[in-house]
Structure 1
Amino acid sequence: ELIEDQDLRQEAAAALARRDIFTPGARALIEAAETAGGLDEDQADRFVSELLETFRWHAEATVSASVYERLVAAHRLIADVVSFKGPHINHLTPRTLDIDAAQAAMPERGITPKETIEGPPARACPILLRQTSFKALQEAIAFPGADGAVQGVHTARFGEIEQRGCALTPTGRALYDAALASKDFSALPDDWSALRRNGLAWFRYRATPQGLAGRAETTDLEALIALGHVVAEPITYEDFLPVSAAGIFQSNLGAEVREAYAVDPAKADFERALGRAVLDEMALYQAEQEASISETLKALGLTEAVV
């Protein structure tokens, strides 16, 4: 649907229909696994090697240079998907504890970073996700031609860097979304105790050596924390921020495709293709917090807590 030109859309569909992203060896091993109920060690090693070919970078395009240019003009991401033998690893995302330092250090090392860091501003108590990247590389590509290969370049692979903070509760996320809209984050406390006491972030609780050695006489978590019997540690946010992810791709695809990311996320279509409902991340964080409270109280010889 991102290709408005009907003829180009048909050419793209035909290019995709001609290719097989899996090697014959991978298909044979899949069939063997389904027949035998698994693979032996040697087969498993060969299966991994065969599957690596599916995601390997290929410098040879499967469409002509002219078709490639038309695909790029329609949408850079479509050109990346359609023009090659198969999918490839688009980027890797190392995690850093100080993304501002990483952003500042890239130019010093001859690396061109994206203009801004996506996500919340720098804070004493990091929340959610902050991301940056270096600009995608221009890589040599060979296009098929009537008189032999035609040399060109393709821009696709880049490096992403992330800094992960604490996962926010629905209440905290609502405050964050409002702050993002108003560009005023003063309403969102930059203090772990305030975030926890106000129910704005998820935390994992555990008993301290002091608590395990002593005898707790209260089930009030705040009191147990004040006594040094229990500590609360922020639960790391493990999801994406749609605005952040879109910003990373926009910076590498070019300004002309920015509006393409303002579409409906089509969750229902995704779940239909997946074959099941997407898990609720808030429920997962809440379950992790509640399980930690239960385990902590059990370790302290208590049965219930006042939160």
Structure 2
Amino acid sequence: MSNHDFMSSDDIRHEFSMAMSAMYQEEVPLYGNLIDLVSEVNAEVLTTHPDTKTQLLHTGEIERLSMERHGAIRLGTATELSMMRRLFAVMGMYPVGYYDLAPAGVPVHSTAFRTLDPHSSHKSPFRVFTSLLRLDLIGDEALEREATATLQKRRIFTDEVIGLIERFEMQDGLIPEDAQCFIKEALQTFRWHDKTPVTKELYQRLLHQHPLIADVVGFKGPHINHLTPRTLDIDAAQQKMQAGGIPSKAIIEGPPRRACPILLRQTSFKALEEAVSFKTANIGDLDECCDGYEQGFHTARFGEIEQRGVALTPKGRALYDQLLNEARNQLGITPNEDNASQYYQILDETFSKFPDNYQALHDTDLAYFYYQLTDNIHDSCKDRALLAAAFDKVDLNAVSRAEISKLIDDGVIRIEPIVYEDFLPVSAAGIFQSNLNQSKNNSYDNASNQQEFEKALGSKVYDELKLYEEIQAQSLKKCLAGCS
């Protein structure tokens, strides 16, 4: 069979993300309001900030802005994680980055399934932050055994989707008819189920250990906990949420508001209390037809928005982590509704040490950028000669920032920020904690292990910083090719 007969992974991913968005809006109608709000904010920014619009046009992001989504799911076993990796591979999504949330009081470690190159991201930027529950952090051995037994009995993938994943792996693609079936069947894994496989008594014990443990073990599958549109002004979006009666969390997670956004800022409306039915029959029997149920409630699903800035280099990330820790240590307690103003003030003061100018971020090697030829280059043989001379090296990485900065100053090339496609552990933990009705602060001394996670995953995770470095280097090569 010719590869031309297969539906591209980019197209499968796009259609799946749209189907998931429609499903989530049906399950959580307030999410639809959030989408409308973000679209309104983005339209205002593009109208009032022409520089932002030009930047998005140069990087190709403007076409994907309305498609920006990321989801979050939580898995219970290594078997589930391994199969989820294979499912996302059908959509051209691969595990990028390793996140240890245990030190922040959340008993999971995670990765983000996403595309690896800008071309695919522009077609569909869908990504899913995927966490694996760490049952070894349950402090009650008997409860850990019950939780393990419950998870081992559940099946979160349909037989049909497993068969289609195997077919994709065998023939390296799916024909359109099979791809449509795959989308339909894969969606079932992420659907909300209000009937639980556990009793209310077990649920309450799990909840007492940690709300996230109850959210994973207490349900039939990894229901999508939130989908996240991308806003160009998260502060304006937060204000509109509050003005519109949408109950938002008090703190915007991540760096402070800046002229040149960095990394990722996130906020959300608070998790909804939803009616669920707990089993009254034997916990080991997952057959609904013979079971009785009693009513209860669960709180976990919420609506999140994000503002993405430029990706930082290792040097930039080290400075970011240092300044964020300084701000939080100065505050002394977890940022919350009561100290939000004080925290924002401390954050602003602390991050004054972080350059807020793209040229400065470039010249000090704090952030990653696309290099693009300006319109002037095509009119100047001299400039083309300067560029070729600067890049006349075997290793483009040997080209110094000073050499590139000179070409920027001369108007030969321009820089545009490479958007950060990934996540921040402290921010992710802050979002989780604020939406789990957590009544106590957990502390897990036993840190997660990347090798252990990758063993469960069935593969290595990609290093996100290397991916950004490669994108930047490729843009240099493209500049040289354009001048040859």
User: Shared fold (TM-score greater than 0.5)?
Assistant: yes
Structure 1 segment 263-302 matched on structure 2, within 5 A: 264-301=447-484
Ranked by relative contact order (alpha carbons within 8 Å, sequence separation 6 or more), the top structure is 2
Letter in 2 for 1:193: Q
Q: Are residues 176 and 18 of structure 1, via their aligned partners in 2, closer, same or farther at CA, if it must alter by over 3 Å?
A: closer
Q: In the alignment, does 2:222 pair up with 1:71?
A: no
2:72 is matched with none
Structure 1 segment 49-198 matched on structure 2, within 5 A: 49-145=184-280, 148-183=292-327, 184-198=350-364
Letter in 2 for 1:289: Q
Q: Deviations over 1:176-222 (max 9, x none)?
A: 22221223112211111111111111111111222123221423433
SS of equivalent residue, structure 1 residue 68:
helix
Q: Are residues 263 and 47 of structure 1, via their aligned partners in 2, closer, same or farther at CA, if it must alter by over 3 Å?
A: same
Give 5+ residue unaligned stretches, structure 1: 302-307
1:223 is matched with 406
Q: What is the CA–CA distance in structure 2 between the aligned matches of 1:32 and 1:227, rounded to whole Å?
A: 54
SS of equivalent residue, structure 2 residue 416:
strand
User: How many residues are matched?
Assistant: 301
Asked if structure 2 preserves the Cα contact closer than 8 Å seen for 1:250 and 1:258, the reply is: no
Q: Following TM superposition, by how much is the alpha carbon of 1:262 offset from its aligned partner in structure 2, in angstroms? A: 6.7
Asked if structure 2 preserves the Cα contact closer than 8 Å seen for 1:250 and 1:257, the reply is: no
SS of equivalent residue, structure 2 residue 275:
strand
Asked if structure 1 preserves the Cα contact closer than 8 Å seen for 2:299 and 2:437, the reply is: no
Q: Following TM superposition, by how much is the alpha carbon of 1:37 offset from its aligned partner in structure 2, in angstroms? A: 7.4
Asked if structure 1 preserves the Cα contact closer than 8 Å seen for 2:241 and 2:247, the reply is: yes
Q: What is the CA–CA distance in structure 2 between the aligned matches of 1:38 and 1:252, rounded to whole Å?
A: 39
The structure that has the greater radius of gyration is 1
Letter in 1 for 2:466: A
Moved more, 172-181 or 190-199: 172-181
Asked if structure 2 preserves the Cα contact closer than 8 Å seen for 1:246 and 1:261, the reply is: no
- The two structures have a TM-score, normalised by structure 1, of 0.89
Q: What is the CA–CA distance in structure 2 between the aligned matches of 1:33 and 1:293, rounded to whole Å?
A: 35
| CA RMSD across the alignment | 2.3
Q: Are residues 298 and 33 of structure 1, via their aligned partners in 2, closer, same or farther at CA, if it must alter by over 3 Å?
A: closer
SS of equivalent residue, structure 1 residue 237:
coil
Asked if structure 1 preserves the Cα contact closer than 8 Å seen for 2:211 and 2:438, the reply is: no
Letter in 2 for 1:90: N
Choose which of 370, 378, 383 in structure 2 pairs with 1:212: 378
Letter in 2 for 1:74: Q
Q: Following TM superposition, by how much is the alpha carbon of 1:152 offset from its aligned partner in structure 2, in angstroms? A: 1.1
Moved more, 239-248 or 27-36: 27-36
Q: Deviations over 1:4-40 (max 9, x none)?
A: 2233222222222222222243345556667777655
Letter in 2 for 1:291: Q
Give 5+ residue unaligned stretches, structure 2: 1-135, 282-290, 328-349, 388-402
- The two structures have a TM-score, normalised by structure 2, of 0.58
Structure 1 segment 13-24 matched on structure 2, within 5 A: 13-24=148-159
SS of equivalent residue, structure 1 residue 186:
helix
Q: Please identify which structure carries the higher helix content.
A: 2
Q: Taking every aligned residue pair, what percent have the same amino acid on both sides?
A: 53
Asked if structure 1 preserves the Cα contact closer than 8 Å seen for 2:137 and 2:444, the reply is: no
Moved more, 161-170 or 13-22: 13-22
Q: Following TM superposition, by how much is the alpha carbon of 1:97 offset from its aligned partner in structure 2, in angstroms? A: 0.7
Moved more, 75-84 or 274-283: 274-283
Q: What is the CA–CA distance in structure 1 between the aligned matches of 2:163 and 2:437, rounded to whole Å?
A: 41
Q: What is the CA–CA distance in structure 1 between the aligned matches of 2:274 and 2:258, rounded to whole Å?
A: 37
Choose which of 200, 203, 208 in structure 1 pairs with 2:369: 203
Moved more, 121-130 or 3-12: 3-12
Q: Following TM superposition, by how much is the alpha carbon of 1:103 offset from its aligned partner in structure 2, in angstroms? A: 1.2
Q: Following TM superposition, by how much is the alpha carbon of 1:98 offset from its aligned partner in structure 2, in angstroms? A: 0.5
Letter in 1 for 2:313: T
Choose which of 228, 237, 251 in structure 1 pairs with 2:434: 251
